[in-house]
Amino acid sequence: MTGQPKLPVEVEFMLMWFPWTQLLVSAFKLNIITVYTGQNPLYGYISTGPAYIAALERAKMIYPDVFHNSTLYTVYYNGGLISCADGAVQIIFMAGNITEILDRTEGFSVIYSSSKSALHKLNR
């Protein structure tokens, strides 16, 4: 066998996937909804809020075609220093706010939350 060594299938897929995703997503409005429950230092707004904002700003610089038509929405429920289980309960109170954003926006929406149990509640 001569020629270049073959790339692993996963690498080939990633190399093909990104340009198509970038092309498809850039044609739509992108709505990024961040969901924060409480002020727990592990997953609350105080620790994850700045990280999400910094990551989004960095992504806008790296992928300007994808994020050129994006809007950041924040849904926050101030519950103080709460447990993860309490955060999952609070997401029920926040679901109306999230639904309102989804109803009044067009395009592709992404919901981010640092609370796994909160996102699990939204999937139900």
Beta bridge partners of 34: 74, 112
* Structural domain range at position 38: 30-123
Task: Give dist(CA 115, CA 124) in Å, integer.
Answer: 15
pTM: 0.69
Task: Give dist(CA 17, CA 85) in Å, integer.
Answer: 36
Residue 55 included in any domain: yes
Q: Are 68 and 27 in contact (CB under 8 A)?
A: no
The predicted-structure confidence for 71-103, as pLDDT tens digits, reads as follows: 999 888 877 777 777 777 777 788 888 899 999
Residue 57 included in any domain: yes
Residue 25 included in any domain: no
CATH of the domain at 36: 3.40.50
The predicted-structure confidence for 29-74, as pLDDT tens digits, reads as follows: 889 998 888 777 777 777 788 888 888 888 888 888 788 888 999 8
In total, how many domains does the chain have?
1
pLDDT at 51: 83
Q: What is the mean pLDDT of the chain?
A: 75
